[in-house]
Amino acid sequence: MNTEHTGAPAPATDEGVTVPSFAVIPGSQVRRALEGREKEIVEVVEAAYRLHGAGRTVNPPSSFLRFPDRATSRMIALPASLGGESPVDGLKWISSFPANVRSGVPRASAVLILNDPCTGYPFACLESSIISATRTAASAASAADRLSRDRPRPTRVGFFGTGLIARYIHTFLEGTGWSFDDIGVYDLSAESAAGFRLYVEQSGSAAPVTVHRSPEELIRTSDLVVFATVAGEPHVEDPEWFDHNPVVLHVSLRDLAPRVLLASTNIVDDIEHCLRAATSPHLTEQLTGSRDFVHGTLDDVMAGRVSVPRSRPVVFSPFGLGVLDLAVGGFVHDRVARSGELRIVDDFFHERRRYG
CA within 13 Å, CB half, 35: 7
pLDDT for 181 equals 97
How many independent structural domains does the chain possess?
A: 2
Looking at the structure, tell me whether residues 215 and 327 fall in a common domain.
no
CATH number of residue 264's parent domain: 3.40.50.720
pLDDT for 118 equals 93
pLDDT for 16 equals 65
Q: Is residue 5 part of a domain?
A: no
| Residue 135 CB-density burial (10 A; 0-12 exposed, 13-18 middle, 19+ buried) | buried
Do 301 and 318 contact (CB within 8 A), yes or no? no
The string of pLDDT tens digits covering residues 75-123 is 999 999 999 998 999 999 999 998 998 888 888 899 999 999 999 999 9
Looking at the structure, tell me whether residues 306 and 213 fall in a common domain.
yes
Looking at the structure, tell me whether residues 104 and 165 fall in a common domain.
no
pLDDT for 8 equals 33
Looking at the structure, tell me whether residues 152 and 114 fall in a common domain.
no
Q: Is residue 301 part of a domain?
A: yes
pLDDT for 314 equals 98
pLDDT for 218 equals 98
Looking at the structure, tell me whether residues 166 and 254 fall in a common domain.
yes
Q: Is residue 8 part of a domain?
A: no
Q: Is residue 311 part of a domain?
A: yes
Looking at the structure, tell me whether residues 182 and 252 fall in a common domain.
yes
Q: Is residue 187 part of a domain?
A: yes
Looking at the structure, tell me whether residues 150 and 120 fall in a common domain.
no
Q: Which residues of the chain have pLDDT under 50?
A: 1-14
pLDDT for 315 equals 98
**Domain membership of residue 184 as a residue range:** 138-317
CATH number of residue 80's parent domain: 3.30.1780.10
Looking at the structure, tell me whether residues 289 and 332 fall in a common domain.
no
The string of pLDDT tens digits covering residues 225-253 is 999 998 989 999 999 999 999 999 999 99
Looking at the structure, tell me whether residues 223 and 271 fall in a common domain.
yes
pLDDT for 5 equals 40
pLDDT for 7 equals 34
Q: How far is Cα 309 from Cα 295, in angstroms, rounded to an integer?
A: 11
pLDDT for 25 equals 98
Looking at the structure, tell me whether residues 143 and 241 fall in a common domain.
yes
Q: Is residue 10 part of a domain?
A: no
Q: How far is Cα 220 from Cα 206, in angstroms, rounded to an integer?
A: 22
Q: Is residue 17 part of a domain?
A: no
Looking at the structure, tell me whether residues 155 and 212 fall in a common domain.
yes
